[in-house]
Amino acid sequence: MVEPSSNANANFNISIKTKLDNFTLNIDRHFNDQGITGIFGHSGSGKSTLLRIIAGLEIKVQGEITFNKQVLFSSHSNIFIPTEQRNIGLVFQNSRLFPHLSVHQNLVFAQQRCKYSTLDINDIISLTGLSSLLAKKPAQLSGGEQQRVGLARAILAEPQLLLLDEPLSALDKHSKAQMLILITKVQQSLQIPMFYVSHSLAELQQVANNILILANGEVVDYGDIHQVIHRLNNTESKPLISPQTSLAVPIIAHDKEHALTQLALSEKQSIYLPLLTENTDENNDKEAYPPGALLRCFIFANDISITLNEPSDSSIVNHLSGTINAINKYGNHSILLTIHCAEQEFFAQISVMSYKKLALELGKNIFIQFKASAIKTLAAFPLKNASFIEE
């Protein structure tokens, strides 16, 4: 699977051990990431603090961070590069636009302070769709508009790394989807490496290439987004996420008559979800979901059910044949099955009763089925090289 590509890397050495109010943030890791790296954790996991430490907004920190071979701070050697000299951007949760300046003046503020400005401010204004808002004051903007200005402003400082701290948490569902599409578009066209913090796994599932999982200040897992989500499904002790199947699959076609969008799971097998173009705004739909574009989507494990024979008289649209790969207890009364089908791992959560009734065992061939509406997605991204569609 080809993911959004980027030339610029975020080459990081983060080694922090610092006591916060409720826990110790303890991270010792090397990153060499392209594109968007997600940082996931529940509130109080230390993820926002980590961003603030990288940006230089937290002062009392023990440890060391180097970024692209430059030491940003080191408590041993008493080095602390001030925030304004780090050239690291940050998009805040509440945009923090300067209230006394217009949208345009907010953007100019950033560009004027950028040492080697190469971007054309008008390009960024049209990229982020701000042309009609330039004269307005921040207080006159909607939440979604404010975040777009915040993103544009951060880009115009031309940071070598862009941090995003819960950039969607204050937005409604529609603005969330728009902003996610915009963040990916910006990432692809400007190739700025990004670290994206969120407590919403769904958000990160949509945009991140790699993901870092934090819990109580400690790293739980780190790696490819889909692989990490699938690994977390089987965390038995204290589940961090709802078990789910994470997919990135190309769009084949939009079936307007039946109001379904067809996705290619493999060369032979398709799955269907409710028509995507109806969910987006009219100006954007063609651009956002062209056939061939890779769609990030996920299916919760309790939305997938199992049958032993191929269902022929079911109203459920999606059914695929597969083999049981793993069987794990999930909680007291359910079983989490890992099913290999169409070169993908699927996760199905069923009751212990059904498990016994169907006499399921490892290696058994079964069928999984799920409704079109069980496939969840927030945004889709145009991508040229979804190879087996083009041929």
Partner 1 sequence: MIATNDDLLALITTLKMAALSTVILLLIGTPLAWWLAKMQSRAKVIIEAIVALPIILPPTVLGFYLLIAFSPQSAFGQIWQQLTDSQLAFSFSAIVLGSVLYSLPFVVQPLQRAFEQLGDSYLEAAAILGAKPLDRFFSIVLPITKASFITAASLGFAHTVGEFGIVLMIGGNIPDETRVLSIALFDHVEAFNYTQAHLLAGGLLLASFILLSLVYLLNHHNNNTSAVGKNYG
Binding region for partner 1 (CB under 8 A): 55-57, 82-85, 87-90, 92-100, 109-110, 113-115, 137-139, 153-154, 157
Beta bridge partners of 341: 344
16 vs 90, beta carbon nearer partner 1: 90
56 vs 243, beta carbon nearer partner 1: 56
CA gap 171, 185 in Å, rounded: 19
Contacts of 24 (CB under 8 A, 6+ apart): 17, 18, 217
117 vs 234, beta carbon nearer partner 1: 117
Q: Min. distance of Cβ 66 from partner 1 in angstroms? A: 19
CA gap 62, 17 in Å, rounded: 6
**Sheet of strand 305-307, all strands in order from the earlier edge strand to the far edge:** 305-307, 365-370, 318-330, 334-341, 344-351
99 vs 363, beta carbon nearer partner 1: 99
β-strands 9-19, 63-67 pairing: antiparallel
Selection from 276, 278, 296, 302 nearest residue 370 by Cα: 302
Q: Min. distance of Cβ 98 from partner 1 in angstroms? A: 6
User: What single string gives the DSSP state of each residue in 245-294?
Assistant: EEEEEEEEEEETTTTEEEEESSSS-EEEEE-STTTS-TTTHHHHS-TT-E
Helix spans in 128-240 (H): 143-156, 173-190, 201-207, 225-233
317: which DSSP letter?
-
Q: Min. distance of Cβ 50 from partner 1 in angstroms? A: 16
Q: Min. distance of Cβ 57 from partner 1 in angstroms? A: 6
100 vs 238, beta carbon nearer partner 1: 100
Beta bridge partners of 369: 305, 319
125 vs 386, beta carbon nearer partner 1: 125
- Phi, psi at residue 83, to the nearest 5°? -45, -50
Q: Min. distance of Cβ 133 from partner 1 in angstroms? A: 16
CA–CA–CA angle 143, 377, 268 (5° rounding): 155
Q: Min. distance of Cβ 46 from partner 1 in angstroms? A: 18
Q: Min. distance of Cβ 185 from partner 1 in angstroms? A: 22
Q: Min. distance of Cβ 93 from partner 1 in angstroms? A: 6
- Phi, psi at residue 235, to the nearest 5°? -70, 110
**SS3 state at 88:** strand
User: Encoding tokens for residue 40?
Assistant: 């996931």
13 vs 93, beta carbon nearer partner 1: 93
118 vs 309, beta carbon nearer partner 1: 118
CA–CA–CA angle 309, 311, 312 (5° rounding): 125
Q: Min. distance of Cβ 81 from partner 1 in angstroms? A: 12
CA gap 37, 49 in Å, rounded: 16
153 vs 226, beta carbon nearer partner 1: 153
**SS3 state at 147:** helix
